[in-house]
Amino acid sequence: MLAVVLSLFAFASPAEPATEGGQAGSVHSLLHEESADVFLGRVTLQQYLERVARQEWGGVRRLTHPKALAAMAARRNRGEENLAPWDDGALETFSLKATRSAAPGIVLVEVAEHDESAIYVLFKSNGSWRVGAKEFGAHLGDISDESIRSRYRGWVDHQALTQARRAERTARRPERTSQRHR
């Protein structure tokens, strides 16, 4: 009888799917490993690159930062090489390698595409994440947070910065309990 009960428990417990490294994982564990901003930035870039691969240029433009769109248009008007993905050709394969936050509202993602490494810079703008820049041939360790903050001043909107500072203050503040609320 005991053996039957133990075997039922063994079959009833849900097994977690194995991840690439062979370890059990879940969305819940992924969220605990990286901040929400890093997670959302990475997911946004995944959507962006998938749309580039499918050549859905309207969706790509919607996920592109407004200042990046303006910079691409200015380059095109000056007759310079335009680095817009819709002018570049097809993206066949890519893989997201590493991700980190460079500052509140800025996420860097290292991507392998066409057998080369590139860093995409994503910014929080108007409440959502947008692709703003691409650093060709770079690795995540090659780019300092300070260089990104100084090169892209004003690309993160005020609301995103305020939310990040508020979350930072809340995390540092010890929990207070007053006598009145007990």
Per-residue 3-state assignment (H helix, E strand, C coil) for 60-81: HHHCECHHHHHHHHHHHHHCCC
Confidence of residue 120 (pLDDT cuts 50, 70, 90): very high
Q: Which residues contact 86 (CB under 8 A, 6 or more apart)?
A: 55, 57, 60, 61
Q: How many residues does the chain have?
A: 182
CATH hierarchy code of domain 25-167:
3.10.450
Instruction: State the pLDDT at residue 48.
Output: 94
* Res. 49: pLDDT tops 70: yes
Q: What is the mean pLDDT of residues 120-134?
A: 92
pTM of the model: 0.70
Confidence of residue 115 (pLDDT cuts 50, 70, 90): confident
Instruction: State the pLDDT at residue 76.
Output: 82
Smallest CA-to-CA distance from 30 within 38, 134, 162, 79 is with: 38
Confidence of residue 23 (pLDDT cuts 50, 70, 90): very low
Confidence of residue 168 (pLDDT cuts 50, 70, 90): low
Instruction: State the pLDDT at residue 27.
Output: 59
